[in-house]
Amino acid sequence: MVKGSQQNVAVDQDIPIIDMSQERSQVSKQIVKACETLGFFKVVNHGVDQTIISRLDHESINFFAKPVHEKISVKSAIQPNFGYGFKDIGLNGDSGEIEYLLFNTNDSALLSQLSFSSAVNCYVEAVKQLAHEILDLTAKELGVPPNTFSKLISTVDSDTILRVNHYPPSDQFLSGGTTRVSDKSESLMRVGFGEHTDPQILTVLRSNGVEGLHVSNSDGLWVPVYSDPSAFCVNVGDLLQVMTNGRFISVRHRVSLTSETKSRLSTGYFVGPPLQTKIGPISALIAAKNQPPLYQTFTWGEYKKFGYSLRLQVNRLDMFYTSKDEYEDGKKNDEKIY
Ligand SMILES: O=C(O)CCC(=O)C(=O)O
Ligand SMILES: [Fe+2]
C-alpha cells in the first residue's frame, strides 16, 4: 500500500516549530531532526518582511478574483501547464478544487504577463534567502561543506518554481464541489490537492490561515498542519531524500478542504537545481553511516521528465532504488558525484 494513503488522521501529533532566531547550532540540530522524523517543519522568526508577504497575498487574491478570460490569458509559451491553471494538476488526469499560478522564477517572459511581477520578484528574493539559510544550516549539521545544497540552486539556470494555489470555497467552485475523498469518515472533506511528495530539493510554503494541509507521519497517518500565516512550512523533497541516502524523508502531503466559506491561499517556493545536475546519494553521507547507496544517480532533468509522466500519488522514488548488482557495479566504477 502506498504510504500515507490511509484516510486516518493523527490529531495529537505536533508539527515541529523551529525558531530561526535561536543560536545557529540549535537551529541546525532541530532542522535535521525534523527532516529525519517527519520531513516537515514550520519556521518562525524567519526574517522575511511581513510587507513582502502581505503584498503578494493581496495581489494574488486580486488576480484570482479577475474574470476567467483574463486569468487564462496568463500562460507559458513553452511549458503547457505553466501560467494560470484551473482544476488540472499536472498533465495526467489529476485534479482538485483549485486554481493556481505556476511559473519558473527565472521565466521573465511569463512573469511579465502579470501586473504584479514586482511583488512576485520581491517575495522570491526573500524566500530564496530563507531557503539558502535552511539548506546551509542543514549541510553544516550533516557535516558536509556548508554550500553543498545551496550551490545547486544558486545559478541562474536553477529550476526553481513558484506556485500560488487558490482553493475557493465550495459555493464558488465551478465544478460544483463534487470531488470528494472516498473514505466515509472524511466524506465532508473536498480534495484540494491530492496526496503527493514534492520532487525538488526543498519546498518553502506559506498559507493564509485557512486550514487544509496534512502531512503523512511514519505510521502513514495524516497529521493536520494548522495554518499560521506568520510562519513558513518547510518540506523535504525527493531530491533531498536521495542526496541524504534516505536519512531525510520526502514527506507525503495533501490538501483536503473543509471550509465552505473561506478561500485557502498558499504559496509554494520549490527549489530545484539546473536540469543537467547529477543527483545521487552524497559519498560523505553514505560513508558516515556505513551504508550502501540506496538510490541510483540521475539528472534532475531525467527525474523530472519521468516523474511528470506519472500520476500525482505514485511514489516516483521507488523506481530509483539501487539493486545490489548496481551497487557492486557502482563500486567498481567508483563514480562520485560530489
Ligand atoms: O496548498 C498547500 O498547502 C500545498 C500545496 C502543495 O502541496 C503543492 O503545491 O505542491
Ligand atoms: Fe506539494
* Pairing between β-strand 17-19 and β-strand 40-44 as defined by DSSP bridges: parallel
Residue 248 pLDDT: 98
Contact between 114 and 63 under an 8 Å Cβ cutoff? The reply is yes
As to burial, measured by CB atoms within 10 angstroms (0-12 exposed, 13-18 middle, 19+ buried), residue 3 is middle
Residue 324 pLDDT: 54
Which is nearest to 102 in space by CA: 148, 44, 52, 63?
63
Which sequence positions are flagged as catalytic?
264
Residue 289 pLDDT: 85
205: three-class secondary structure by DSSP: strand
Which of 215, 262, 266 has most ligand 1 atoms within 8 Å of CB, for mutation?
Answer: 266
Q: What is the pLDDT of residues 244-290, one digit of tens each?
A: 999 999 999 999 998 878 999 999 999 999 999 999 999 999 998 88
55: three-class secondary structure by DSSP: helix
Where are any strands of DSSP class E within the chain? Answer: 17-19, 40-44, 83-89, 94-104, 161-167, 190-196, 202-207, 213-216, 222-224, 232-236, 253-257, 264-271, 278-279, 298-299
Number of the ligand closest to the Cα of 263: 1
Q: Is the CB of 43 under 6 A from ligand 1?
A: no
Domains and CATH numbers, the chain: 17-278 (2.60.120.330)
Please give the torsion angle defined by the CA atoms of residues 213, 215, 216 and 222, in that order, rounded to the nearest 10 degrees. -40
Average of per-residue pLDDT values in the chain: 89
Q: What is the pLDDT of residues 171-221, one digit of tens each?
A: 776 544 444 454 444 556 789 999 999 999 999 999 999 999 999 999 999
Give the number of the atom of ligand 1 that is nearest the alpha carbon of residue 203: 10
ipTM value greater than 0.95: yes
Which is nearest to 147 in space by CA: 131, 125, 127, 161?
131
